[in-house]
Chains A and B, each alone.
Chain A
Amino acid sequence: MDYSRVQFMLGRSAMFCLLKQACSTNRSEIADAIFYVNYSLQERKLKDAQMRATINQKLVETGERERLKELLRARLIECGWRDQLKAYCKEIVQQKGLEHITVDDLVSEITPRGRSLVPDEVKKELLQRIRTFLAQQSNM
């Protein structure tokens, strides 16, 4: 078993590959494989966190993050996301009662809904913009 390949196959697809291979071999090897996958997953998470931190840092330092947020807000208002969410908020408030509503209630209710309601085009646009930004940063 060539474990060095596993390093390149992370995620579920890698797991499936690994399990396929493991089924044809010994049980002890399976355990080894699982341990290794876990280890590599942790490593990857660390890597991701580092990467996100650096990207965020760059975005904040250059002020791009604020600009992105303004763009996102404008786009969301344009596409009616804000109105939809507001109507939903009103429903929640009526359910819970005007006096008893708290910010935490609203946040816990609205955040998942808000994520799901964002149109794909808006997400794509943001993604594209971040990528170009990162490309510019790496070129400099």
Chain B
Amino acid sequence: MVEADVAQSNLDPDQKAVLDTVIEELIDEVSLGLCFEIHRSCKVGSLFLSGFDDTAASDTEYAIVDRPGVDVLGQVPSKKNYECVCPNCQRHLAASRFAPHLEKCMGMGRNSSRIASRRIANNQKHGSEESGQEDENDNDWNYAPESKRVRRMKKEKSTNSPRNRRLAKLRNGGSSHDAAAVAGETSESLETAPNYERMTLEERKALLLTSCGVISEHTKRMCTRTGKCVQHSDEQRRQVRQLLLRQSRAHDLEDIHIDIDTFDDAESQSFRESLQWEMSSNSSPADSTSTNNSLPGVPLLPPSTTASSHSSNPVGLAVPASHKRSSNKPASSLSKNKKHKASAGKHNVSSSGSSAGSGSSNKDQQGQNLYDFS
């Protein structure tokens, strides 16, 4: 009996002890998991924060709901009818109808500003005393166009200035001397008034420096493209520059010491080339002598010869200045050339009764240049 009892109790506690150890292992594992969790929250710093304790509960609470017909938060999606209460008539309205309703009910909305402006306008009509002041204000507002008008009048005055008149005379005289081909067009070109004619020398220069400037035969307008314009050749450009600058020189002769030095070297180069070309074309001795004698500042002569030709200079005013210039600058030959032509033109006009040979030679030189212009 004892043996059986012992055997019974022995087998049972034996197995029980083994099973106990197994259970203890399980418990240790669970508590180890807890240890890790606590340690992590220690290091993260959330151990002593309230609300972090029930992680399991919060997980279920904020879990993403994945069921059909329900949004992520587990709520049934429903179209909410937003209703607004009109502050004027206390009616309930759907939100989409609220703005139109307000427009009618309170006079607010898009049309309201127009209504308001109309109302203000009516009020101002009633207040007649204020209207006078407002007229003055209106004058203020109209100031800009009026000033424009004044400016325009000034311009017209300036076009009637003696200088321009002289220019016109010069041009008319020139055309009378020139070939008949240009004669018909001159008056037209004056009437259509290409505005480059009213420009001063400075303005012309500025314009010619920035743009191509070739004047078309049909429209009498300058080409406004850049200096590298493909439509016109360098030859045309050069002629136009010569023409325009000489023309302005014609009526700027009194103050001749202006700003030729400021002209571009590149351009002067081209002018010099053209000059040489002209020289070679005028190679016949009779012609050259006649020009040398009749014209004051002949371009490429050495200073001594020019000095000798001073005596026969009909327009002696311009020469000393030009001569001064010619001694210094490389571009001076250009300036001299231009001055020479300008003075030649003047010579044509002022002393029309001068020798026929010189007149004809001038014409030969100028006809080519003037052809494009007038």
Contact = CB atoms under 8 A, between A and B. Distances in A.
Interface stretch (A22-30, A31-39, A52-60): A52-60
Interface stretch (B30-38, B60-68, B73-81, B108-116): B30-38
Contacts of A15: none
B40 to A, nearest CB: 9
A93 B27 contact: no
A56 B26 contact: no
Given A82-B34, A110-B34, A111-B31, A101 B39 contact: yes
A119 to B, nearest CB: 11
A75 to B, nearest CB: 10
Contact of A111 (B13, B20, B21, B28): B28
A103 interface: yes
A76 B32 contact: no
A93 B42 CA distance: 8
A114 B36 CA distance: 14
A11 B18 CA distance: 14
Interface string B1-44: 00100110010011111111111101111111111101100100
Interface string A65-101: 1001100110011000010011001100100001001
B48 interface: yes
A55 B19 contact: yes
A131 interface: yes
Contacts of B93: none
Contacts of A51: 15, 18
A52 B17 CA distance: 10
Given A82-B34, A86-B34, A101-B42, A8 B27 contact: no
Contacts of B47: 90, 93, 98
Contacts of A107: 31-32, 35
Q: What is the interface of chain B mostly: helix, strand, loop, or mixed?
A: helix
Contact of B17 (A48, A56, A65, A90): A48
Interface hub of B6, B15, B34, B36 (most chain A Cβ within 10 A): B34
B27 A114 contact: yes
B38 A69 contact: no
Nearest to B28: A111
Contacts of A69: 26, 29-30
A93 B18 contact: no
Interface of A: 5, 8-11, 48, 51-52, 55-56, 59, 65, 68-69, 72-73, 76-77, 82, 85-86, 89-90, 93, 98, 101-103, 106-107, 110-111, 114-115, 118, 123, 126-127, 130-131
Given A69-B30, A123-B20, 13 more contacts: A9-B6, A10-B10, A11-B13, A72-B26, A73-B30, A82-B34, A90-B47, A98-B45, A103-B39, A106-B38, A114-B27, A114-B28, A127-B23
Interface of B: 3, 6-7, 10, 13-24, 26-36, 38-39, 42, 45, 47-48, 53, 56
24 contacts: A8-B6, A8-B10, A9-B10, A11-B10, A52-B22, A55-B19, A65-B26, A68-B26, A72-B30, A73-B30, A76-B30, A86-B34, A86-B38, A89-B35, A98-B45, A106-B38, A106-B39, A111-B28, A111-B31, A111-B32, A114-B28, A115-B31, A130-B22, A130-B23
Q: Which 8 A-B pairs have the closest CB atoms?
A: A114-B31, A106-B35, A89-B38, A103-B39, A126-B23, A52-B18, A107-B35, A51-B18
